[in-house]
Structure 1
Amino acid sequence: MQQWEYMTAPLIIHATKQILDNFGEDGWELVQVVPGPDGNGLVAYLKRPKG
């Protein structure tokens, strides 16, 4: 059975693509983007296979 590791990361609006591209190069897959605490910015939820 596949196991996953997860990470959350803040996203800076003017650099979202660059941030996500960097995570993608490290094997992270974007799962969801949600508003940050108190509506400040965005938070990305990412996953990648464990191992």
Structure 2
Amino acid sequence: MTTWEYATVPLIVHATKQILDQWGEDGWELVQVLQSPDGGNLVAYLKRPKTA
């Protein structure tokens, strides 16, 4: 059974692609992007398989 680790990452609108590309290179998969609870910036929710 796969176990996962998760990360939440604030996104800067003018650098969204670069931020997501960097996390993707580190093995993270984008799950969803939502507006932050305070109504400000976007937040990316990511996951990747946990390593032992």
TM-score (norm 2): 0.94
Calculate percent identity across the aligned residue pairs.
75
1:8 aligns with 2:3: no
Provide, for residues 2-51 of structure 1, a one-character-per-residue CA deviation record: whole Å limited to 9, x for no partner.
Answer: 11000001000000000000000000000000001321010000000000
TM-score (norm 1): 0.96
The runs of at least 4 consecutive aligned structure 1 residues that moved more than 4 Å come to none
CA–CA separation in structure 2 for the residues paired with 1:25 and 1:38: 29
Q: When the two structures are aligned, how many residues end up with a matched partner?
A: 51
Unpaired runs of 5+ in structure 2?
Answer: none
